[in-house]
Amino acid sequence: MNRLLRDPLILAAVLWTLAGAGVLCSLDAAHDQARAFWAFQPPLDALLAWSAWRVHRMATGAIRRFWLVMTAAGVLFTVGDTVQAVTAFIGPGLKDTAGGPVQGLLFAVGLGAIIVAMLLHPIPGSSRREKVAFWLDSSTVLVGGAVVAYCFAIEPSQHGGNIAGTLAAGCVILTSCFAAVKLVLSGNAPMHRAAAVPMIVSAGINSVGFFLGPNPDGTLDPYVFVVRLLPSLLIGLGARIQEDVARFDQGSAFGSRRRRPYSLLPYGSIAVAFTTVVVETPAGPHPRLWGAMAGLGIIVILVVCRQLAAFHENNRLIDQLREHEARLRHQALYDGLTGLANRTHFHEEVTGALRDVGDENTSLLLIDLDGFKAVNDTLGHAAGDVLLAGVGGKLTACVRPGDVVARLGGDEFAVLLRDCDGEGAEHTAQRILRELAEPIPFEDTAVRAGASIGIACATCDDDVDSLVRDADLAMYAAKRQGKGTWTRHHRDLAPAS
C-alpha cells in the first residue's frame, strides 16, 4: 500500500483530478466548465492506455488478451476525448458533458470491446453445471442493469438528441454490472482485487453521473462535472495499480481466487428491478413501466431456473455423498479381497445373533486353511489371492442366505450360523470340507487347500469372545487330529499348546 501511495503516476493523476475539480468549481460559465471538463479528460485516459499496455506485456494467455483490449479501449477513449476537447474550444459553446459523434462512437466501441473481452475471458472449472449456473447469475445481473439503463439512462421516448451519448450511458451501466459479476462470481478476474475495486467503483460512479440531470436552462452544476470526471481517474488508477502489483508480485497479481459457492447478486437484481417498478408506477402506464415489469419478470424466471439448477446440483451432491458413505462403510465392514465380512463386522453380527436369535440356536465355525503357505511360496501371492477369493465363494455357497461368512485375517475364515443347532453345524462343516476339496483354477494350473474347522455352539453363558475362543480351541483340536477335518467344542477340550 505504501508503494502505491508513493507511485509518481498515481500521485500525478490524483493531483491532476483535484486541480480539475478546483477549476470546475471556480468557473461560472457553463461553456467554460464544459471546456475544462474535456481538457482534463485525455491525460487520465492516456494513463489507462499506458498502464494497460504495460500490464499486457507482463501477462500471458487470456489475461494478456484482456489487457490488450483494455489498452485499445484506453487509446479509443484518449482519441475520442481529445477530439471532443478540441471541438469544445474551437466549436460553439457546450453547456454539459455530452460528447459529439466522434467521441460518443469511440467511447461506445471501447466499452463494447471491454464487454466482449469479459465475455470471452475463461471461467474456471470445466463442469457444465458450473458454467450454466454462472451464466444464469450473469444474465440475471445483466437484465437488472438493462432495466436501469432502459428506464433512466436511455429515454425510450426520445427520438432525437444525443443518441450516441445515451447509448454510451447504457453501455456503462451494463459494463459495471458485468464487471461485478466477473469479479464476484467467477473468482477468475484478470486483475488483482486492489485494481478491480477502483474500476468497479468507476463504472458505478459513471452510472450515477448519468442520473444527475441538468438544470432547467440545460446547464450542469459544478459538482456534476466533478462526478463525471472521477470515473476516468478511477479506471486509470485501477490499471496503474495492476501494473504495480504485477511488477512487484506476479505470483498474486493474476492468480485465481477461490470461487464462492453462492452469490447474492441475482437477488440484488430483483431488488433493483422491483425498486424501478415502484419508482415508475406513480406515473401510470407508460413504456418505461412496462419495460421495468418485463425485466422484473425475466429476472424472476432466471432466478427460478438458477434455484432449480441448484436443487438438482444439491441432489446430485447428496447422492454422491451417500454413495461415498456406502463405499466407506463397505470398506470398514468388509474384506477388500474376498468381499466377505471382516472381523469387526463379524463380531457385530455374532453379538446381534446372540441377542436376537437366542443362545441355543447360534453356532459358529472357525476355519483355518491347510497348505495355504505352500501355495503362496510355490506359485506366488497372486495364486494365494485367487485361492482366498475362491474359498470365500465356496463358503458363501455352502451356507444359507441368512448366515454370515467372514474373513478374520490371513487364511482364517469364520461362519455364523443363525438358528442352527450343533447337528446342523456339523453338517455344514462336512459340506464345506467337500467343497474345498475341489481345486480352484489359476492360470494354467489349479490351486487347492484343505481346512481344519472348529465348531462352537452357544450356551446361555456365552458372549462373542467366549464363543470365538471355543471355536478356536476346537479348530486347533481338528488340526491335531490330522487336518482336513472338523471338531466340535466340548468342555473337556484341552487348550492349544
Q: Is 214 a residue whose pLDDT tops 60? A: yes
CA gap 51, 30 in Å, rounded: 33
CA gap 406, 404 in Å, rounded: 7
Q: Per-residue pLDDT averaged across 468-474, rounded?
A: 92
pLDDT of residue 153: 53
pLDDT of residue 156: 46
The grid coordinates of residue 40 equal: 482534463
Q: Are 392 and 340 in contact (CB under 8 A)?
A: yes
pTM strictly above 0.85: no
Q: Is 213 a residue whose pLDDT tops 80? A: no
pLDDT in tens, 304-352: 888 888 888 888 889 999 999 988 888 888 998 888 999 999 999 998 8
Q: Please give the mean pLDDT across all residues of the chain.
A: 81
pLDDT of residue 357: 57
Question: Count of H helices and E strands in the chain?
Answer: 18, 7
Which of the 8 DSSP states describes residue 6? T
Q: Per-residue pLDDT averaged across 230-235, rounded?
A: 90
The better pLDDT of the pair 86, 202 is held by 86
CB atoms within 10 A of CB 209: 19
Q: Is 262 a residue whose pLDDT tops 70? A: no
Q: Per-residue pLDDT averaged across 120-134, rounded?
A: 69
- The three-state DSSP-derived secondary structure of 55-94 is HHHHCCHHHHHHHHHHHHHHHHHHHHHHHHHHHHHHCCCC
Which uninterrupted H or E stretch holds 370? strand 362-370
Highest mean pLDDT among 204-218, 240-254, 459-473: 459-473
Highest mean pLDDT among 7-11, 313-317, 365-369, 443-447: 365-369
Nearest to 420 by CA among 478, 492, 353, 469: 353
pLDDT of residue 116: 77
Residue 405 backbone dihedrals phi, psi, to 5 degrees:
-105, 135
CA gap 255, 190 in Å, rounded: 8
Nearest to 24 by CA among 159, 221, 216: 221
Helix/strand/coil for 461: coil
pLDDT cut 90: percent of the chain above it: 26
Nearest to 478 by CA among 439, 435, 417, 429: 429
